[in-house]
Amino acid sequence: MVISDNILSSVEKPARYTGNEWNMVGKNPETVDIRFAFCFPDVYEVGMSHMGLKILYHLINEREDTYCERVFAPWVDMEAKMRENNIPLFSLETKDPVKTFDFVGFTLQYEMSYTNIINMLDLAGIPVRAEDRGEGWPFVCAGGPCAYNPEPLAEIMDFFVIGEGEEIINEILDLYKEWKKSGCSREEFLGAVALVDGVYVPRFYNVDYNPDGTVKEIRPSNGKFPEKIKKRIIRNYDDVYFPGKIIVPYIGIVHDRIMLELFRGCIRGCRFCQAGFVYRPYRERNCENLTDIAEKLVDSTGYEEISLTSLSTSDYSQLSRLTSALTEKMGERKVSLSFPSLRIDSFTLDLMKKAQEVRKSGLTFAPEAGTQRLRDVINKGVREEDLLNSVELAFSGGWNNVKLYFMIGLPTETYEDIEDIADLGKKVVDVYAKVHAGDKGKAKSLNITISTSSFVPKPFTPFQWEPQDTIEILEDKQKHLKNVILSRRLKSIKYNWHDPELSFMEAVFSRGDRRTGNVLVTAWRKGCKFDGWGEHFKFDRWMEAFEERGIDPSFYANRKREYGEVFPWDHIDAGVRKDFLALENKKAYRGETTPNCRMRCSGCGAASLLGGACLGV
């Protein structure tokens, strides 16, 4: 398929659709047995920043029998041209129609991209509902963090992959290759893949509901299928595949740099954080291994920045040794290091010096809450003095741009907690004034950005039972904080906040059951897509879709759950026990904290997965 220059020249950023970037994998489709379309349900710049795509794309292409190609959601201008000219959704590598592939695999990173999945399937000419895809259609599958509650997409996906893709993808491809040779039916392949550990095929599971609308039971339709689908993990993270080269785009992307993943999992247990629980146990990559990967990626890409990424970078046990090795090797090449996720209790003079070795950028800290009481409720494990000591160190080192991230709407939150966000901002301003007291006007102007997101209760967290504040309450809290900042004349502080209507929708589909899938399709038909982009989010259309389907969205977002309630995701085993999460929920209300995994095992259940920190690694 050829996309004409006339079409490309008429849309924004045509390089989103051309492919042929540096390090792109090229194969002859006629010589492979399996074609896999890796689909990211957002624009190219977002998808090309995703670590999972970078890894799985090259891992799958290591197989001689398989060609993995990339597919992104076309922006609205390109989609209009494609529909006008009858151009189906295509891959970047060969420009072949997606519907001709064997697998169409989506990564689920954000609930508000679900309508893009439906739109991409429709644009590809693939039936949206799994029940309408008969023999000859690709198998549509999905994985990623949102797959831990697969039910909103249960009638759209043929199957889900629960856990880490590197651990399971080759098993699925091997099984498919054998099935393809056998000439068996589509249903037989789904029956076979449903027996692979970590694979969930929704059509083989029935859901019953109670009279009050809650889930009564989720059970397999046949005794041969497992009652619980247990996530797959890589037990030894040092042995796992990581590519020695990655694709270098022709246009700027969100994370336009090398991303070096230090570890998976988290030792902390912040009670609002889904990733901190579903990625357990904590598993590190060795310092020498990381240094070798970094050198290969710099050689193969020419990037001038390496971002040390993980859920909490400063928890890496070999961080000092790693940063010393990287600054020594990369300093002469003018390759800088960045630390996007440092904890405020771990910012040291040594890290500060290494962070500004080549170039200096802004610093970001996440206190999450304004008061110590609320930080203890969420088990954040940091104190106010940690933040003030960190910013004093940064200001002494020449920084004048600091971002502070908070969450509003957390369980037990009061308006005093909201006001103390502004107070904490003022204390940071005061620290800057103290550091530069003798500069006599020579200090740079201070820029502090306070950003608040709205609490969204997530599956497999201690707060999965909690209600989300209503939209009206969230808006009032945002307004209150804004007024407090203005009343205290904190001119150095800029305040940003998230759209509470968008957070409400995220909560609905985060905890949604199978019935919400009908709402997704209805909303898409009403024009909903790119919902995560403010200019395209149509809240009124969503409300119309819920009304037409007879579903109350507040049932999913704003309702407190009882401890005994069956959740739509209770047939998924993320490795963390439900009774442990309930215990953590109760401790939150008592203001009790839980020590991190290095200090003491909390008995969360992840030890059953036999990996990482749970084995003393």
> Residue 139: phi, psi to the nearest 5?
-85, 125
> Residue 403: phi, psi to the nearest 5?
-110, 135
For the chain, give the number of residues. 617
pLDDT digits (tens, 9 = 90+) for 500-521: 999 999 999 999 999 999 999 9
Tokens describing residue 550: 């007879």
Among 2-16, 339-353, 538-552, the range scoring the smallest mean pLDDT is 339-353
360: pLDDT strictly greater than 60: no
Place of tokens 């905890």: 511
344: pLDDT strictly greater than 90: no
The CATH number of the domain covering residues in 5-230:
3.40.50.280
Mean residue pLDDT across the chain: 93
Over residues 19-25, mean pLDDT: 97
- Which residues does 387 contact at the CB level (< 8 Å), separation at least 6? 344, 365, 367, 404, 424, 428
- CA 352, 354, 355, 360 dihedral sign is positive
Q: Quick one: angle between helices 415-435 and 471-487, nearest 10?
A: 30
* DSSP, res 464: T
> Residue 596: phi, psi to the nearest 5?
-70, 165
Other beta carbons within 10 angstroms of residue 269's beta carbon come to: 25
| pLDDT for the residue 363 | 78
153: pLDDT strictly greater than 80: yes
pTM above 0.85, yes or no: yes
| pLDDT for the residue 2 | 77
CATH topology for the 257-361+571-617 domain? Transcription Regulator spoIIAA (3.30.750)
Q: At 513, which amino acid appears?
A: D
133: pLDDT strictly greater than 60: yes
CA angle at 188 for the pair 187 and 194, rounded to the nearest 5°: 90
pLDDT digits (tens, 9 = 90+) for 248-258: 999 999 999 99
Distance CA 413, CA 376 (A): 12
Place of tokens 């890290």: 351
pLDDT digits (tens, 9 = 90+) for 64-95: 999 999 999 999 999 999 999 999 999 999 99
Q: Is 576 in contact with 280 (CB distance < 8 Å)?
A: yes
> Residue 614: phi, psi to the nearest 5?
-65, -15
SS (H, E, C) 22-45: ECCCCCCHHHCCEEEEEEECCCHH
443: pLDDT strictly greater than 80: no
Q: Is 337 in contact with 357 (CB distance < 8 Å)?
A: yes
User: Confidence class of residue 1 from pLDDT cuts 50, 70 and 90?
Assistant: confident
Give the largest CA-CA distance in the chain.
Answer: 81
| pLDDT for the residue 617 | 39
| Beta pairing, strands 493-497 & 305-309 | unpaired
Distance CA 4, CA 8 (A): 6
Place of tokens 């700027």: 252
Distance CA 424, CA 429 (A): 9
pLDDT digits (tens, 9 = 90+) for 40-51: 999 999 999 999
Q: How would you classify residue 240: left for phi > 0, otherwise alpha for psi between -120 and 50, otherwise beta?
A: beta
